[in-house]
Structure 1
């Protein structure tokens, strides 16, 4: 066996020194790393904890986070959720109350008529056919400085606040109107169903007079056409309205005072085209025969405009409109446009109100404009003083429309359709030398339509109409039309 080689003493000393140095460096490095981790570790743990918490939140659907605080789905707004506040005066009450009786339903509706002083009543009729009568609070302490108006405007502007103070339960909306306002209740409900009654909403319409809107405000809901105010907004208004009114003694009416307070609360007007102030004079025919694609909610100034049907007083004319309204309120006065190609006629249907036949082919773009059968609120103003487009009434003897007014409306249970009948309104017409069929040979028009209560749950669109063949040759004097939802790819065109 060989002996192990001997390590030199100098080499051994060097190796020992190197080991000591390496150990010393490792000790220092370990201490530094430990010292650093003491500060980094809490941050890393926090980030990891937050990341884990965030991921756990994402992995849990929102509707599972806390099922105890889920709110049950509220039922849709219905007529019982609305409280009406009707502005009236004792002087006009004996006549104006007849307008309210036409649309008021004592067994379904809630509300009050607010008068300036007590009136005589017929206990056997008025208490069962009308809202409860109340006397407005004293407003003599409020300043009023408008030289053209009346101090009663302050009284009327406070109807919402006074209605709120009655403390009625389960109220979602307060709706204001005048004693000469006619409401289509079903359509009012349909409009209000679109909005969250738990939020601040101020809903109504503008005037038909551009000059009125300039003088008062385009941001104002006109009271006669109807104003809807959500419950939370009424609550906020009630707290500050009396102070607000004192800041505007120079304003004219009640609705501009109301709008001034809305501006201070910061709530803009939500406009709905079906609220009609009707700041016009004369005949409403042009406006109703080409009603905008929106549900008819209200008619105002019934004492100012002519009866909506000829040869009738105003009350009986509205009673006639109620017949189709009760069958299909959603479709009331909605316009449809179609053509009788064989006879070169343009036909415009205002369902439940009137039908017009025009010689020749007129575009839908023209027919959807209201004919100027009415005058501006400022009688000296011309047709440029409307905030919407209109078309002139035709003066050419061959372009005058043949107008058929509603005479009857029934519901056919076997076909699930309404059948409305329209009769020619006989007026003297000049002879026309156009070589085409004469509409005067048509004495009646029957319109068949399936009621569509969900019409306004969809995007707005006019219904389509189609000319049908009469059932027999004996009906040569009768035109038959079908009105309904447009078929796929159906448009109003003739070539």
Structure 2
């Protein structure tokens, strides 16, 4: 009996001790949890007190060096909500001293003094003429590139031009979002360039441009490469990253040809693909680019290159004069420039194609919109062959049948009618058409076409769609009147 009592007491003592230990452990964990809770609340409450990172100092130097050290970072003063505008873009233009005298005239056409910013990078000094300073970007001489390995000594030119973005970054300009590369024979439509770049976040890595019009060129170089003549855009942070590694990168590609393929090789090492915007036009073709422009894709016209290679875009004038004719409609409505509309005159059995600000075509017969939106082959391949398989896009043949040749009316003038709030552009025929024996109405009777078009500042904020065109009645003999604008409900080209 005494033994049983002793055992019960031992069990009671054991249970009491275990309960005491359990309470101690529970209290300990409760204390730790409460302490951690207060610590966490304190951390969250005071996390904003951590000192911010110091910004990079603003550079005041304009010295161009071959150093591979990181460039000074400009302080961005633009408001986060501010849309990209022309002041946020810096152009880096590759130029040749040998051709500068004639090619600078192209730059004067699109350059906007006191608005556009950029540098023309030359291989050596050129003679300045009176007035050039106010009509052109700042001129600079590229750094010496003789230290870079190249398979062909002539390829030092490609190395020099490929480093233009890096050399421009080192100038430390303020409030830069995009660096845009182009050649001295490139014509930019700056308002459309801005509109395209507004789609992208300039704080991210972006490499934006387009391919060549030559399939073989794209195969030889790369479909992942932006052609520098047509122009390409590099966002500010990507340009900084490129500058930091480019000189070492270039040493790994001594056998490459040109500058744009060297840029693409470095982009590949940075892991940044090409974002394609087909409004940048390299124009790797020969002959007339009329077919390409008259059936421009539904996208803003951003640039045109190889102006010394292709024929003038308007007949009976030189290349600079031809581009000057575009300035009027470009200033009135750059978003609508070259945009195609297709409509049909059923009574006379005609197909009409309007390339606003450029040309209007009348075709005998009814042609499907699917065919009309393909560029007519008025141009030859870059290898100078009439080979339609050499283009990386669909084309249609330019018929040799005299009756199937279009009647082309080129832009004569364009104005803005403030009362009606629309543009008025006139197009006239400056080249004769061969005789045709078809027994149908002859477009020869038309001598002038007038096109009315409403301005649409939100054209590229909506899903892409070709504008529609309609015929307006007219009693004026020898004329045709067309209205171009946003398609109405259930309206289409038929």
Q: Which residue of 2 aligns with 1:446?
A: 450
Residues 373, 299 of structure 1: CA spacing in aligned structure 2 closer, same or farther, 3 A cutoff? same
Q: Does 1:373 align with 2:378?
A: yes
Could you tell me which of 455, 460, 464 is aligned with 2:459?
455
Q: Which residue of 2 aligns with 1:163?
A: 168
Q: Which residue of 2 aligns with 1:259?
A: 264
Could you tell me which of 131, 137, 146 is aligned with 1:131?
137
Matches within 5 A, 1:330-479: 330-380=335-385, 382-434=387-439, 436-470=440-474, 473=475, 475-479=476-480
When Rg is computed on C-alpha atoms for both structures, the one with the higher figure is: 1
Q: Deviations over 1:348-388 (max 9, x none)?
A: 10000000111111111110000000001011361101000
Residues 431, 160 of structure 1: CA spacing in aligned structure 2 closer, same or farther, 3 A cutoff? same
| Unpaired stretches in structure 1, ≥5 consecutive residues | 1-16, 55-64
Structure-2 separation of matches of 1:311 and 1:101: 22
Query: Does the Cα contact within 8 Å between 1:397 and 1:432 map onto a contact in 2?
Result: no
RMSD: 2.9
Number of residue pairs the alignment of both structures matches: 461
| Unpaired stretches in structure 2, ≥5 consecutive residues | 41-47, 53-77
Structure-1 separation of matches of 2:264 and 2:381: 24
TM-superposed deviation, 1:336 = 0.6
Query: Does the Cα contact within 8 Å between 2:449 and 2:480 map onto a contact in 1?
Result: yes
Residues 27, 305 of structure 1: CA spacing in aligned structure 2 closer, same or farther, 3 A cutoff? same
Residues 48, 109 of structure 1: CA spacing in aligned structure 2 closer, same or farther, 3 A cutoff? same
How does the TM-score come out when normalised to structure 1?
0.86
Q: Which residue of 2 aligns with 1:99?
A: 106
Q: Deviations over 1:148-176 (max 9, x none)?
A: x5321111110001101111111111111
Q: Which residue of 2 aligns with 1:74?
A: 81
TM-superposed deviation, 1:394 = 1.5
Residues 110, 36 of structure 1: CA spacing in aligned structure 2 closer, same or farther, 3 A cutoff? same
Structure-1 separation of matches of 2:430 and 2:455: 26
Matches within 5 A, 1:248-327: 248-327=253-332
Q: Does 1:484 align with 2:490?
A: no
Structure-2 separation of matches of 1:430 and 1:72: 62
Structure-2 separation of matches of 1:414 and 1:461: 27
Structure-2 separation of matches of 1:43 and 1:292: 70
Residues 47, 419 of structure 1: CA spacing in aligned structure 2 closer, same or farther, 3 A cutoff? farther
Structure-2 separation of matches of 1:234 and 1:477: 56
Q: Deviations over 1:420-454 (max 9, x none)?
A: 000023324132324x2111111111000011122
Q: Which residue of 2 aligns with 1:206?
A: 211
TM-superposed deviation, 1:343 = 1.3
Runs ≥4 residues deviating over 3 A:
21-51
Q: Which deviates the most, 137-146 or 317-326?
A: 137-146
Structure-2 separation of matches of 1:29 and 1:189: 81
Structure-1 separation of matches of 2:375 and 2:26: 77
Structure-2 separation of matches of 1:198 and 1:314: 38
